[in-house]
Structures are given as C-alpha cells and as structure tokens.
Amino acid sequence: MPQSKPCPLREDVDKERLLDFLLRYATTQTSVGVQTNRIVVNTTRIAHAYGYEPTIMTFQRNMTMTLTPVLGDGRHSYRPLDAHPVSGMLQHRHGPLNFFFNAELSRLSWYTYDNHPSLDELEERFQKILDTPPMNRWLVLYLISQANMAFCLLFGGDLMSGLFVFLGTFCGFLLRQELNRRHVYHYLTVVLSAFVASFVVGLGAKFGYEEFPKIALSASVLYLIPGVPFINGMMDILDGYVLNGISRLLTAVMIVVSITVGLSVTLMSLGLSLL
C-alpha cells in the first residue's frame, strides 16, 4: 500500500480528540473485516494529515495508540525535542463483515490526507458512513440461500438436492440472524445454524428425495465457512503481524470446529454418513 508522509502540524487540532477519533476509526475497521496492515496504513494516513505520527499496537480484543506531533513539510519530518505524546486504548467493536464500510473507510483516509478537513467535518463524514443502512435482511437471506443452492448444483448435485440446500440454508441463516440480534454466544450460534441447515437437508436424504445426499449435506453449511478470517490471518502473518494473524486463524479454526459439531449432531440424529 502507498505510504503517506507527515504533513505540517495542525496547531488548531486537539490531539486528544484526534486520538479518540483514530481509535474509533481503527477499531471500526477491525469489526468489518479489514486486515491489520490496512488498518495501520489507513489510520496512519489520517494522523499524518494533521501532522502526527501514530504508534499503534493492536491485539485481538483491544487497540493501543500513541500520537506524537511531528514537524515537517510533507517531504521531510522530525520529532521536536519537547514533543508531548498522548496515548489511549479502546476495545475492538463487534460487527458483521461489511465490504462497503471497508472501502468507504479507506476512501475517507485518502480524502482526509488530500483535503485536510476539520475534525468536525471528519467526524461528520465518519458518522455518515456508519449510518449507512444495511442491505435488506430478507434479500441477503435469499441471495445466500440461492448461492448455496448454486454450489450444490455446481458440485454435481441434482435439482431436488439443490432445493433442499436452499431451504436448509434459508432456515439456518434465518436462525443465525435472530441469534446474532440477541447476542447469543458466537460459537453456539454457528453450531445451531450448522445443525438446522444440515438437518433440513438431512431429512431430504433420510426420506430418499435427494439423489446425491452427500453433496447436499456438504453444501448445506458452506455459508458458515470463515473465508475472510482465514485470508486475513494469513495476510497478517505475511505482513509481520504474527500474533494478530495467529489469533484470527484460531478464531477461524474454532468456527470450523463449531460447524463440524453442528453437522455431526445431524448425522448422528438421522443415522447418516458422509463417508
């Protein structure tokens, strides 16, 4: 990613208020599925726009940041001897994966670096992004069910198997939405969602409606596979953020284990096998 350089120090900007904004900005990126290196680069870019150099330390549950004023002209910079840094810590927010937020928050960092807006304007633009209404939940439910059905057909399943996968995914993802709204423990949500989706498909296999039950059962839980945590975990390790990468990979592994538990309960309940 392009690296920014510190701009001339903005004396009119309250550094504690800027620090508070940067912590909220950075932790919001974590919640929507941004890899660590991009979080650091985007946050640093905004800090540089106001003449500050951030030192960022991020963990799985919280983030610590120190802001130090830097004197420079955009090409050369140095820290004054009487610099008074400010530090803060904030817990990461929890939210669903959101590629729109991902792109817009990155765009906001470039807008800030190029135009040097006031903190009031920056806060307003940030809040406008956060206030963007989410996609209709029923549309999301339909599209994900349709996608899982398409995977089943793509892997060689018959039409009836695909229809059962559609119905199972619809029921499982609807349950997941409701459990998330009630803030049920995340891994338990995955177990129950995997169980419901695979159980509906398993009923079709049990009563002989599906020609390829193994394909249908395998496809029924694909919507729960944690692809982004796996990708971000590997990218964090490759970028040098090893602890963050390992923690993300462990989270992804725990989700896979939860999927396995839910699917296994279905297989044992209905007397089915994927072997």
Same domain, 161 and 258: yes
Residue 261 placed within a domain? yes
Domain end point (choices 91, 106, 130): 130
CA dihedral sign, ordered 123, 61, 31, 237? positive
Domain that holds residue 81: 15-130
Residue 197 placed within a domain? yes
Domain end point (choices 90, 105, 130): 130
Same domain, 228 and 253: yes
Exposed/middle/buried for residue 5 (C-beta within 10 Å: 0-12, 13-18, 19+): middle
Same domain, 160 and 121: no
Note the pLDDT tens digit of each residue in 84-135.
788 999 998 887 888 999 999 999 999 999 999 999 999 999 999 999 998 8
Helix (H, G, I), strand (E, B) or coil at 38: helix
State the residue for tokens 């409606």. Answer: 209
Residue 2 placed within a domain? no
First to last CA, the chain: 45
Same domain, 151 and 206: yes
User: Would you say 226 and 190 are in contact if contact means Cβ atoms under 8 Å apart?
Assistant: no
The secondary structure element, H or E, covering residue 238 is: helix 227-238
Same domain, 106 and 184: no
Same domain, 144 and 260: yes
Domain end point (choices 101, 130, 159): 130
Distance of alpha carbon 8 from alpha carbon 6, whole angstroms: 7
Note the pLDDT tens digit of each residue in 223-275.
999 999 999 999 999 999 999 999 999 999 999 999 999 999 999 998 887 65
Same domain, 94 and 155: no
Residue type, 56: I
Same domain, 112 and 153: no
Percentage of residues in the chain with pLDDT exceeding 70? 93
In sequence order, what are the residues at sequence separation of 6 or more whose Cβ sits closer than 8 angstroms to the Cβ of residue 38?
1, 29, 106
Among 264, 161, 169, smallest CA distance to 207 is for: 161
Domain count, the chain: 2
Provide the token pair at 86: 């400010």
